[in-house]
């Protein structure tokens, strides 16, 4: 058996733990075997974030530990009490494992440094009284994200098993996502697939960009209608990179309307809406949830004369749960 953990405060609310390994093995397996509060996937996440050291040196997931080596790592301490929540969210679907909400534009999914406003994560903890300590992740219940200014379907997990199942589904790309975007230009092709790797912008770390050093990214789209150069697109991101739809549409000269980062300056929010999510349910079968087009985008669609074309995306649809 490995030596007991030696917790050490880091001074920032997180906790550094260390132990001396008594047996050899891959580092993620050794950590999870020694620390019952961490799964192997949890250990891999810490490694990916640069929070694990072996004999004082950074490691990779494939790093091998030998008996007598010292392993140290920082555990991200989840905030136990959510911030004051003064809003409610429209619930599109809920059961014992998951809840799907219609996230409004302007609301963050979880906290970022320097952000003190309540988030969807706070609402989830407050509304469902989750046992935070049972989750082994930094953001309990959060399995995917929408940008602050993006509206639409957001799926949340109500227990650790559901979170692990949904995380695996997103990683395996068995989740189907459909978005509606209003763009400032018409792309050259009415239907196409955009394949271009996305990574951090080399000169501005707050932005993403198409770069050879980026990760694989694939987005398909089809034109639903247009009013001169302004278009309504149905978009399917097949991978889940940060800002993927916005970056890819900007790359084909059809930036999302109002996108101040990747398009032209706008006065409001960028007009991007997560319309439908089709996901394997943690208890089996599949779940399909939709969020109707929000009022601000509907106003623009009407001004474009596309209300008839957009009618399938305007009317509320009941969620569908299918069994295996």
pLDDT at 5 over 90: no
Residue whose pair of structure tokens reads 């770390």 in the numeric block:
205
**pLDDT at position 133 over 80:** no
pTM of the model: 0.77
- Is beta strand 218-227 parallel, antiparallel or unpaired with respect to 15-20? unpaired
The Cα–Cα gap between 169 and 176 comes to 10
Top-confidence residue, 264 or 61? 61
User: pLDDT tens across 41-84, in order?
Assistant: 778 888 988 899 999 999 988 899 999 999 999 876 555 456 88
Indicate the length of the chain as a whole number: 324
Can you give the pLDDT at residue 158?
Answer: 93
What are the structural domains, with CATH classification, of the chain? 8-75 (3.10.290.10), 91-322 (3.30.2350.10)
Tokens found for residue 138: 């930094």
19 in Cβ contact with 65 (< 8 Å) = no
Q: Which of 28, 35, 122, 147 is labelled catalytic? A: 147
Q: Quick one: CA dihedral 236, 241, 246, 252, positive or negative? A: negative
Q: What percent of the chain has pLDDT over 70?
A: 89
- Which pLDDT belongs to residue 137? 64
| 147 among known catalytic residues | yes
Q: Residue 111: pLDDT above 90?
A: no
Query: In the prediction, which pLDDT does 302 show?
Result: 97
Going by C-alpha positions, the residue among 184, 161, 169, 242 that lies closest to residue 209 is 242
Q: Where is average pLDDT lowest: 84-93, 206-215, 272-281?
A: 206-215
Say yes or no to pLDDT of 199 above 80: yes
Task: Indicate whether 10 pLDDT > 60.
Answer: no
Strand stretches in the chain, DSSP E: 8-9, 15-20, 25-26, 52-54, 57-58, 64-65, 70-75, 91-94, 98-103, 151-157, 176-183, 191-195, 198-200, 208-210, 218-227, 230-237, 272-280, 286-290, 320-322
């Amino acid at each position: 058996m490995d030596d007991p953990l030696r917790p050490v405060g880091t001074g920032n609310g997180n906790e550094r733990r260390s132990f001396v390994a008594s047996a050899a093995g891959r580092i993620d397996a050794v950590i999870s075997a020694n620390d019952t509060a961490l799964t192997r996937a949890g250990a891999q996440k810490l490694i990916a974030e640069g929070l694990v050291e072996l004999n004082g040196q950074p490691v990779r997931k494939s790093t091998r530990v030998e008996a007598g080596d010292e392993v140290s790592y920082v555990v991200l301490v989840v905030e136990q009490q959510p911030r004051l929540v003064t809003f409610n969210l429209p619930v599109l679907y809920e059961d014992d494992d998951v809840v799907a909400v219609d996230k409004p534009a302007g609301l963050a999914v979880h906290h970022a440094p320097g952000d003190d406003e309540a988030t969807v994560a706070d609402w989830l903890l407050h509304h469902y009284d989750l046992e935070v300590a049972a989750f082994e992740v930094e953001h309990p219940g959060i399995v995917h994200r929408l940008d602050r200014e993006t509206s639409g379907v957001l799926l949340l997990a109500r227990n650790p098993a559901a979170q692990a199942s949904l995380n695996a589904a997103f990683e395996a790309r068995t989740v189907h996502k459909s978005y509606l975007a209003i763009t400032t230009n018409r792309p050259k092709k009415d239907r196409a697939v955009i394949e271009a790797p996305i990574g951090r912008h080399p000169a501005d770390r707050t932005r993403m960009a198409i770069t050879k050093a980026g990760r694989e990214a694939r987005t398909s789209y089809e034109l639903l209608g247009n009013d001169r150069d302004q278009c309504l697109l149905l978009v399917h991101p097949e991978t889940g990179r940060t800002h993927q739809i916005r970056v890819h549409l900007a790359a084909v000269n059809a930036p999302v309307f109002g996108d101040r980062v990747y398009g032209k300056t706008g006065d409001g929010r960028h007009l991007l809406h997560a319309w439908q999510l089709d996901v394997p349910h943690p208890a089996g079968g599949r779940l399909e949830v939709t969020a109707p087009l929000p009022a601000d985008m509907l106003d623009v669609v009407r001004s474009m004369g596309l209300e008839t074309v957009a009618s399938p995306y305007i009317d509320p649809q009941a969620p569908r749960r299918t069994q295996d």
